């Protein structure tokens, strides 16, 4: 056996031996500097490809997971209640242990105040809370149905919550207007909706039907005013409709306890 070194990282082992009747077998192993250099030049491309694969794979997995949250059914549906519009509008984790269902009217000022509070709760309970919105437009509010229609038409383009947020934020202004059609179209443009489609969808009977279905669910659950909340299908008593009361109820439900203490 003969070993030869031709560089700091390069060595060659040459094994010459007579194995069978004088036939010479030669094994050579080369790990020289030029091979290392070739590998080194390939390394950045390997890294880049790995990051590209990770980003695409991760993005696809995330897309599937997020899509699931959009279409997952609501657990703990009240068996005897009218199911309401399917799928309902909701935010939050698909398998959250706490489902907070709101029956709201987009022209109702306390609903607008509650919307701010609910966002805070969503941020505090990301994986634990799912907030569902049900339309319950009240006859006393002149533009409530039109606001609900606008939100549904935005929902048809995947932007229900963006429209609902805008409607709540600007509620004091548009509530006083005589006609709100142009104002709502302005909102639609602001959130990047296809305006022509928005105008058509706003009059669509199927989307209008969703508002009626939510309303029927509310009636079947004994809702008479807005906002009315249910946490895991248990109606939130009036005395718990406070920042702390709701926070405690969500925490209790998340820990598998009844949301409210027994009366």
Nearest approach, Cβ of residue 1 and other proteins (Å): 23
Q: In this complex, which beta carbon is closest to other proteins, that of residue 121 or of residue 230?
A: 121
Nearest distance, CB of residue 58 and other proteins, angstroms? 6
Q: Are 178 and 233 in contact (CB under 8 A)?
A: no
Query: Of 126 and 257, which CB lies nearer to other proteins in the complex structure?
Result: 126
> Which residue lies nearer to other proteins by CB, 81 or 191?
191
Shortest CB 187 distance to other proteins, Å: 11
Concatenated DSSP letters for the chain? -EEEE-SSS-EEEEEEEEEETTEEEEEEEE--HHHHHHHHHHHHHHHHHHHHHHHHHHHHHHHHHHHHHHHPPPSS--TTS---SSSPEEEE-TT-SEEEEEEE-TT-HHHHHHHHHHHHHHHHTTTTEEEEEEE---TTSTTHHHHHHHHHHHHTTT-HHHHHHHHHHTHHHHTT-S--HHHHHHHHHHTT--HHHHHHHHT-HHHHHHHHHHHHHHHHTT--SSSEEEETTEEPPGGG-SHHHHHHHHHHHHTTS-SS---
Shortest Å distance, C-beta 48 to other proteins: 5
- The smaller minimum CB distance to other proteins, of residues 58 and 109, is found at 58
Dig out the tokens for 32 from the structure. 């020289």
Quote the least distance from Cβ 34 to other proteins, whole Å: 6
| Nearest distance in Å: CB 258, other proteins | 27
Residue number with CB closer to other proteins (38 or 257):
38
Task: List interacting residues with other proteins (CB under 8 A).
Answer: 6-7, 10, 32-34, 37, 40-41, 43-44, 47-48, 51-52, 55, 58-60, 62-63, 66-67, 69-70, 91-92, 116, 119-120, 122-123, 126, 158-159, 161-162, 165-166, 169, 189-192
65 or 224: CB nearest other proteins: 65
């Amino acid at each position: 056996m003969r070993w030869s070194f031709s560089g700091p990282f390069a060595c060659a082992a040459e094994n010459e031996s007579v194995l069978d009747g004088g036939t010479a077998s030669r094994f050579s192993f080369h790990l020289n500097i030029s091979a290392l250099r070739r590998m080194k030049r390939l390394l950045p491309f390997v890294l880049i490809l790995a990051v590209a694969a990770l980003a695409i794979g991760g993005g696809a997995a995330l897309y599937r997971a997020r899509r699931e949250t959009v279409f997952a059914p609501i657990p703990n549906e009240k068996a005897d209640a009218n199911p309401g519009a399917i799928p309902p509008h909701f935010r939050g984790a698909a398998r959250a242990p706490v489902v907070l269902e709101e029956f709201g009217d987009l022209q109702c000022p306390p609903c607008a105040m509650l919307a701010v509070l609910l966002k805070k709760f969503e941020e505090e309970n990301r994986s634990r809370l799912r907030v569902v919105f049900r339309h319950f437009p009240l006859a006393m509010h002149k533009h409530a149905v039109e606001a609900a229609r606008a939100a549904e038409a935005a929902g048809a383009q995947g932007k229900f919550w963006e429209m609902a947020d805008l409607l709540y934020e600007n509620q004091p202004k548009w509530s006083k207007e005589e006609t709100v059609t142009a104002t709502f179209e302005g909102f639609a443009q602001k959130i990047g909706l296809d305006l022509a489609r928005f105008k058509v969808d706003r009059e669509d009977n199927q989307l209008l039907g969703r508002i009626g279905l939510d309303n029927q669910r509310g009636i079947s659950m004994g809702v008479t005013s807005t906002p009315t909340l249910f946490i895991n299908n248990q109606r939130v008593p009036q005395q718990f409709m406070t920042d702390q009361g709701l926070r405690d109820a969500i925490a209790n439900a998340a820990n598998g306890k009844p949301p409210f203490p027994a009366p």
